[in-house]
Amino acid sequence: RNRYLSELQRADALSIPFALEEGRRLVEEGVRQVDRVVAEITHHLSKCRRLRIIYVQVIDRETMEPMREIIIGKSLVAVAVWVDQTRLVDNILL
């Protein structure tokens, strides 16, 4: 999908893995509250005005069901955003 993006849009899209890594960093520091991790990731994505967030969710990696608390190795953060007309999705294991 990145081939559909302009150079500027690709630069904006780089904020997605950065935001996911920030969420992982919080978990590595001991945070287990889903709301806090989601808020941090959303905050980082919101800094890029050309990204429109569709969702940021912590889900069970096997069932894909939303989780209320983060469990290391079982929780996954999934994000989807629009960059103009292109929908981008990414995830990271916590």
pLDDT by residue, tens only, the chain of 94 residues: 568 899 999 999 999 999 999 999 999 999 999 999 999 999 999 999 899 999 999 999 999 999 999 999 999 999 999 999 999 999 999 9
Q: Which domains does the chain have, with CATH numbers?
A: 2-93 (3.30.1300.10)
Provide the pLDDT for residue 3. Answer: 80
Question: pTM for the whole thing?
Answer: 0.92
- DSSP string covering 19-88, please? HHHHHHHHHHTT--BHHHHHHHHHHHHHTSTTEEEEEEEEEETTT--B-SB--TTTEEEEEEEEETTEEE
Q: How far apart are CA 94 and CA 88, in angstroms?
A: 20
Provide the pLDDT for residue 2. Answer: 67
Cβ atoms 40, 18 nearer than 8 A: no
Q: How far apart are CA 94 and CA 86, in angstroms?
A: 26
